[in-house]
Amino acid sequence: MAERYLIPKLGSVWVEEVVIYLFSWGTFLSVALLVHNDKHVRADVVIRLMSPQLQRQIEFINCLLSLVFSLIVAWYGGAVTIDAFSLDERSVTGSSIPIWLFYASLPSGMVLCATWYIRRLYQLAFQFDLSSFSVRSGHEA
């Protein structure tokens, strides 16, 4: 941004736009990584006081609801992305970068989140090991 004032001929609007696009992609890919590593923010103060078996049941319901939410957001995000692609929407700056590249970050990140929630649901349902249960529990197995 300083080049805009110091050396205006080197400055480009497209750089700021690319940074915004990359920031969006980084945000949604990071959300998926947080879900994968079970580090996403959640209110679990009361849940940690419950028995591990009850925590498992609540975690299953939480993952199921999160999966549904991720799929809904991915679906509608994908619809917006497809519309932007089919209408050939472009940014209003001189670079005319396709807007669908920006929009695609949302459904991509949500599909990755949904994938990790499916994996987590499978583990909770079929491969449950109380000693490796990762809800931040105060109980020891």
Q: Walk along the chain (141 residues) in steps of 10 and give the mean pLDDT of each run.
A: 59 76 92 86 78 86 94 97 93 82 94 94 82 50 39
What local confidence, expressed as pLDDT, does residue 53 receive? Answer: 83
Non-local (6+) Cβ contacts of 43 within 8 A are none
pLDDT tens, position by position, 16-39: 888 888 999 999 999 999 988 888
- Which secondary structure element, helix H or strand E, spans residue 80, and what is its range? helix 52-86
How far, in Å, CA of 34 to CA of 63, rounded? Answer: 13
SS3 state at 92: coil
